[in-house]
Amino acid sequence: MIIFFGPAGAGKSVQGQILAARHGWRWLSAGQLLRDTHDGELIHRMQSGELVSVEIINGLMGEALNKAKDINGVILDGYPRQLEQAKWLIESRPHHGQDVKLVIVLEVPRDEILERLRVRGRVDDTPEAIDKRLSIYRGEIYPILDYLNDNNIPIIHMSGVGTVGQVHDEIEKELVSRGIVEGAK
C-alpha cells in the first residue's frame, strides 16, 4: 500500500490514479468512497456540511480494502486524515492484509497551490479559504507522519511541482529504487 499526502492542489489524486492504471493497482480515495455511497442519511449529512465520523470513514475504507485483498497494490488518497484513522489503518492490518510500503508527501509551494486551485475554478477556492485549509492540513498531517514514522513506515517528501509526467517519473524512480516496482526493461 502506498499513501499519498499533500494539500489540495498538490496532485495526489492525479498521481495516484496514474500509478494505479500503470501497475494494475487499486486507487482508493476517501472522498470518492464518501461521494459514491448510497447511504441517503450519510449523503444528506455531507451536503449539509457535517463532518463524517471516523468510524464511518474507517468502515468504508475497511470495506474497500477488503475488496482489494487480491490486488497487488493499493494507493490511498486523502486517507488517513486524522491520527485515529492512521492508528486504525495500522492496527487493522490483519483484517485488510495490506502493509504500508511507502508514504509519499507531495510538497507544493503556496503560490503554486493558489494558481492550481484558481485554475480549477471552484467558488470556495479563495486565497483565504486555501490558507485556512493549508493550516488545517499541516495540523492534521504532522501527528500522522510522526505516528507512521514511529511504526517504521518509510516516508518521503517529493516535489509536486512540474508537469504531471515529470512528477510521475520521479515517483516511479523512487518506487523502483525501493524495490516496490520493477524498472523498465
Take residue 174 and report the three cell numbers written for it: 523512487
Of the candidates 30, 32, 4, the one whose C-alpha atom is nearest the C-alpha of residue 16 is 4
Average pLDDT of the residues in 58-76 = 92
Q: Does residue 55 have a known ligand-binding role? A: no
**Range 2-176 has CATH code 3.40.50.720:** no
Q: Residue 112 in 3-state DSSP?
A: helix
Q: Does residue 59 have a known ligand-binding role? A: no
Query: What contacts 60, CB < 8 A, 6 or more positions away?
Result: 30, 33, 34, 37
Q: Does residue 80 have a known ligand-binding role? A: yes
Q: Does residue 52 have a known ligand-binding role? A: yes
Q: Does residue 116 have a known ligand-binding role? A: no
Average pLDDT of the residues in 83-97 = 93
Q: Does residue 7 have a known ligand-binding role? A: no
Task: Report the pLDDT value the prediction gives residue 18, as an integer from 0 to 100.
Answer: 97
Q: Are 26 and 180 in contact (CB under 8 A)?
A: no
Q: Does residue 85 have a known ligand-binding role? A: yes
Count CA atoms within 13 Å of residue 179 on its CB side. 1
Q: Does residue 110 have a known ligand-binding role? A: no
Average pLDDT of the residues in 104-130 = 89
Q: Does residue 133 have a known ligand-binding role? A: yes
| Residue 101 burial (C-beta neighbours within 10 Å; 0-12, 13-18, 19+) | middle
Q: Does residue 47 have a known ligand-binding role? A: no
Take residue 72 and report the three cell numbers written for it: 497487488
Tell me the average pLDDT of the chain.
91
Q: Which secondary structure element, helix H or strand E, spans residue 62, and what is its range?
A: helix 54-67
Q: Does residue 174 have a known ligand-binding role? A: no
| 51 has a pLDDT exceeding 80 | no
Instruction: Give the start-to-end residue ranges of the domains of the chain.
Output: 2-176
Q: What pTM value is reported for the model?
A: 0.91
Q: Does residue 45 have a known ligand-binding role? A: no
Confidence of residue 39 (pLDDT cuts 50, 70, 90): confident
> How many beta carbons lie within 10 A of that of residue 4, not counting itself?
26
